[in-house]
Amino acid sequence: MLHLSDLTPGDRDRIHTDLRVALVGGAAAALVMGAIVFVAGSVSSAEARVLLEASLPTTRFLASGVMTVSATTLALMLTLLSLSSGIDHEIKRGHYERIRQIAFVDVVAFVAATLLLVVLVVPLGDAAEIPAAWYVGIYYAVSLLAAAIGGVLVAVMLLLYAAVRDLIGVLTGDDDNPLVADDEDSDERGAKA
């Protein structure tokens, strides 16, 4: 199995940089989305229940949309792998490590969206046994989980952008592309085998 330790230092640095940019971008997006919840101000138990009931349909839509996007992205990663293997140039192993990372973050988004959707299936508005004070916590938890899912989706898109950016460089004949294995890379792989 391919791991970052198997890559050249330059490839490892590039993958770390792209991953860092994606995670920082996703975290920033999640923080902005989460901050919007808190900018609206604190809510009482009665307000939280009303806001929760009002936001449930759109939050369900968000969760199902993220599940659809994540599943589609994962399926399209197979197309990216097929395209990568059909290129005339020998592609560096780092490209495949990047695809593995994208798939992992994408699955995290899918699982988080699935969990959110399962939580939202519970008819919170009809539950008489839930203490009124709990609605504040439930409202903030659902809102922050939705923001986190949005942030993970932004991270997936940034990782995909990095992979596509470098793959376009290969297809357009960029001589200094970090994905194209040069003679030194081929010799290094031959020595390891």
What gap in Å lies between CA 10 and CA 93, rounded to an integer? 12
Per-domain residue ranges for the chain?
45-180
Q: What letter represents residue 5's amino acid?
A: S
Q: Above 90 in pLDDT, residue 184? A: no
Whole-number average pLDDT of the chain: 80
Q: Above 50 in pLDDT, residue 169? A: yes
CA 40: distance to chain centroid? Answer: 27
Task: Name the nearest CA neighbour of 162 among 21, 4, 49.
Answer: 21
Q: Above 90 in pLDDT, residue 124? A: no
Residue-level pLDDT at 183 = 54
Would you tell me the crossing angle of helices 93-121 and 134-171 to the nearest 10 degrees? 160
Share of the chain above pLDDT 70, in %: 81
Residue-level pLDDT at 126 = 62
Retrieve residue 143's tokens.
Answer: 């809102």
Q: Where are the beta strands (DSSP E) in the chain?
A: none
Residue-level pLDDT at 1 = 40
pTM of this prediction?
A: 0.77
Task: Name the nearest CA neighbour of 95 among 193, 29, 190, 171.
Answer: 171
The pLDDT of 179-183, averaged and rounded, is: 61
What gap in Å lies between CA 177 and CA 173, rounded to an integer? 8
Least confident of 27-31, 104-108, 137-141, 167-171: 167-171
Least confident of 76-80, 148-152, 157-161: 76-80
Residue-level pLDDT at 151 = 93
Q: What letter represents residue 60's amino acid?
A: R
The pLDDT of 120-148, averaged and rounded, is: 79
Between 28 and 11, the more confident residue is: 28
Residue-level pLDDT at 104 = 92
Between 91 and 52, the more confident residue is: 52
